[in-house]
Amino acid sequence: MVVAGRAGHALLALAAAGIATMPLWASHYHLQLASTALVAAMFALSLQLLVGAGGMVSLGHAAFFGIGAYAIHLLPPGLSVLATLPAAAALAGLAAAVVGALSLRTRGFFFLMTTLAFGQMLFFVFHDTPLGGGKDGVFVTRPALELFGLVLEVPRRSRPAVMLWLNLGLLVLMYAGLALLMRTLFGRALLGIRANEDRMRALGYNTRRVKLAAFVAAGMLAGVAGHMQAMTEAFVNPELLGWHRSAEGLLMILLGGLGALHGPILGAFAFIGLAEAGTLITERQRLVVGLVILAAVLALPGGLAGLRLPRRERRQPAPAAVEAARP
Amino acid sequence: MSGLFAQVLNGLQYGLLLFLISSGLTLVFGVMGVINLAHGSLFMIGAYLAFVIARWSGSLWLALPAAIAGGILFGALLERTLFRRFRTREHLDQVLLTFALILLFEEARSMLLGNDFHSVPVPAALDFSVPVTADFAYSAYRLAVLALCVLVAALMFLALERTRMGSAVRAAAEKPEMVELLGLDARRIHTLVFALGTALAMLAGALAAPLQSVYPGMGDKFLIISFVVVVVGGVGSVAGAFWGALLIGLVDTLGKAYLPELAGLAVYMLMAAVLLWRPSGLFARGA
């Protein structure tokens, strides 16, 4: 997995600036749609730390997203976002530590199955027990925008704009943090494990500990994304934890490109855009999503981020693996 | 006492149905290296096939051979057109391809048959209770399902252990590259295994249809519980799937009956314990 160069980051910054000006020219509906895409991008980006960097394909990642969202429901209402956001990340990280410690005892196909099973277990906790307020979901009170004692009262009319800026700011922070993380020894070790775990162990790395740290970090970031989902929608339901959402996150990564850190962001916007365009044509969203996946898997192995790579490289069976294996 | 007896029978019968589903899942993974998330959808298709046939002919009997024959044809078709091409792709691609199949199968189901819950009547000939002890009677249909599943499991073990094709399949599950070196046609084995797995999943769906209602998304529940079976039972072995399925069937049924506050969590706790104690599964070879 590569981090975009200077030109790539200039383009990404330009896109972010464009989104930031949306309240000046876009309708409330489109502001909300953009917020949905930004939250999806945060979720997919957190999953990329597992899949693209660490080579761990998890089907239970949405559970941590959902726990982050439910944190707002579980905490007393009226708290500042400065309290709820870290709490959501901590709760999701705690769950990820338990699930990760168990699941990482397996690899590959079995890792996939165990993460799926534990993810569904957490789904059932919120679906079947009174803890989560029932299977139909509950409305939640948005955390207060209180920054260092200064309470920001947001009028109803400007809320979509404020949420958009908040989501955009967090996504930029998350991306910058991950881009820096990938340059550290930890990031390099993770990429090494993806390329060849046995060799990394022979080099003296405690590979399971590195993988567990990545799993917990990814879970915490997913919790942040989930918190923003609940704060944007003011509503949570158990479907937020369901494994279909995990699969959608993987789809965003594949759409955007497994081989680049910014791939999932492109993929999330492409996915939300395609799903939105699909609903204009047909009510049957599953049909649209299913066909999009088939097309992506069959025709676009490098994802959107891979489109500009030379043809020769795109023909390789697994460009991301080749990329990661390079010294 | 008779309550416990009934729950144990229910658990065994549920476990045997799980075996029909998870043996296909584990064989397809073992032999082809393919993760098939749509395996639960095949179960769902079998159940809906039984519902349609039972409504049309008035009886479930025709549905069982139809599920087996239809499953073999459908499985062979899927393997030839799609899964063959995905054998050597990365896990992520396989996950997404089969996830897309789930969405498309569900959408097709919704277009053809709608989104309602349906019940399928138990065949009239078996719609009675068998007195097992003096004060306890058990549904004849459930006993018949139990017997049929045991028969299918026995036939499967015989075919795998005693026939040339069976030993080729076992060899393929253990060391796929060996099969080609021995001069066997690996592609035929792949088609056979995938068709067999599909037929078993669809047969399980048809058998389960009268035991529970037929409903949208029913495949998901069975997919995930089959994954738990495979993790608990161990890598790629049919015997592991068999004992794992019985164990999960019993734990789930007894757990729901006697510890309702744990709801469906008992099987996941069992899985966590197995992962801690024996990460490669309880019945894995060499464990």
- pLDDT for residue B235: 67
Phi, psi of A293 (to 5 degrees): -60, -50
Question: What is the mean pLDDT of the segment spanning B108-122?
Answer: 87
The type of residue at B255 is G
pLDDT grade for A311, boundaries at 50, 70 and 90: very low
Helix axes A108-128, B266-277, angle to 10 degrees: 150
Query: CA of B212, closest CA in chain A: separation in Å?
Result: 19
Query: CA of B133, closest CA in chain A: separation in Å?
Result: 36
Long-range contacts of A120-123 (CB under 8 A, 24+ apart): A120/A60, A120/A242, A120/A243, A120/B224, A120/B268, A121/B265, A121/B268, A122/A60, A122/A63, A122/A66, A122/A67, A122/A95, A122/A241, A123/A63, A123/A66, A123/A238, A123/A241, A123/A242, A123/A243
In a domain, B99, yes or no: yes
CA pair distance A243, A248, nearest whole angstrom? 9
Q: Which of A110, A129, A287 sits opposite B107 (nearest CB)?
A: A287
Residue the block writes with tokens 């009547």? B121
CA pair distance B102, A289, nearest whole angstrom? 11
Q: Which of A258, A287, A290 sits opposite B92 (nearest CB)?
A: A258
Phi, psi of B85 (to 5 degrees): -75, -15
In a domain, B284, yes or no: no
User: How large a percentage of chain B has pLDDT more than 90?
Assistant: 37
Query: CA of A62, closest CA in chain B: separation in Å?
Result: 15
SS3 sequence of B124-153: HHHCCEEEEECCEEEEHHHHHHHHHHHHHH
ipTM of the complex: 0.83
Distance of CA A82 to the CA centre of its chain: 21
- pLDDT for residue A212: 96
Chain B interface residues (partner A, CB cutoff 8 A) = 29, 35, 37, 88-93, 95-97, 99-101, 103-104, 106-107, 110-111, 220, 224, 227-228, 230-231, 235, 263-265, 268, 271-272, 275-276, 279
Helix axes B238-258, B218-233, angle to 10 degrees: 120
The two tokens of residue A161 are: 């704009």
Asked if B95 lies within 8 A of A59 by C-beta distance, the reply is yes
Integer CA distances (angstroms), B54 to B51, B65, B176, B209, in order: 5, 13, 41, 10
CATH number at residue B124: 1.10.3470
pLDDT grade for A327, boundaries at 50, 70 and 90: very low
In a domain, B283, yes or no: no
Q: Which residue of B has its CA nearest to A60?
A: B224
Helix ranges (DSSP H) in chain B: 2-32, 39-57, 63-81, 91-113, 140-162, 164-174, 176-181, 186-208, 218-233, 238-258, 266-277
pLDDT grade for A305, boundaries at 50, 70 and 90: low
- pLDDT for residue A298: 80
Residue A41 is given by DSSP the state H
- Per-residue pLDDT tens digits for A3-31: 888 888 899 999 999 999 999 999 999 99
| R_g of chain A, CA atoms, integer Å | 19
Q: Is the pLDDT of residue B92 over 80?
A: yes
In a domain, B209, yes or no: yes
Collapsing DSSP states into helix, strand and coil, what is residue A78?
Answer: coil
Asked if A117 lies within 8 A of B101 by C-beta distance, the reply is no
In a domain, B282, yes or no: no
Q: Is the pLDDT of residue B88 over 70?
A: yes
Q: What angle do CA A209, A213, A217 make, to 5 degrees?
A: 170
In a domain, B93, yes or no: yes
Asked if B96 lies within 8 A of A250 by C-beta distance, the reply is yes
Question: What is the mean pLDDT of the segment spanning B131-142?
Answer: 79
Which of these ranges, A82-86, A132-136, A230-234, A268-272, has the smallest mean pLDDT?
A132-136
Contact in structure between A284 and B107 (CB atoms under 8 Å): yes
The two tokens of residue A240 are: 């937020």
B207: left (phi over 0), alpha (psi -120 to 50) or beta: alpha
Asked if B93 lies within 8 A of A286 by C-beta distance, the reply is no
Question: What is the mean pLDDT of the segment spanning B135-150?
Answer: 87
Residues of A in contact with B103 (CB under 8 A): 286-287, 289-290, 293
A222 CB-near residues (< 8 Å, 6+ apart): A43, A46, A47, A61, A62, A64, A65, A68, A92, A96
- pLDDT for residue B196: 94
Q: Which residue of B has its CA nearest to A51?
A: B92
Question: What is the mean pLDDT of the segment spanning B2-24?
Answer: 89
Q: Which of B91, B231, B272 sits opposite A57 (nearest CB)?
A: B91
Question: What is the mean pLDDT of the segment spanning A84-99?
Answer: 96
- Per-residue pLDDT tens digits for B235-269: 667 888 999 999 999 999 998 888 876 767 888 88
The two tokens of residue B200 are: 């078993």
**How does the average pLDDT of chain A come out, rounded?**
87
pLDDT grade for A301, boundaries at 50, 70 and 90: low
pLDDT grade for B5, boundaries at 50, 70 and 90: confident
- pLDDT for residue A139: 92
Handedness of CA B261, B265, B271, B275 (dihedral sign): negative
Domain count, chain B: 1
Q: How many A-B residue pairs are in contact by the CB < 8 A criterion?
A: 110
CA pair distance A48, A174, nearest whole angstrom? 12
Contact in structure between A163 and A232 (CB atoms under 8 Å): yes
- Per-residue pLDDT tens digits for A154-172: 788 888 999 999 999 999 9
In a domain, B63, yes or no: yes
pLDDT grade for B282, boundaries at 50, 70 and 90: confident
Q: Which domain holds residue B165?
A: 2-277
pLDDT grade for A252, boundaries at 50, 70 and 90: very high
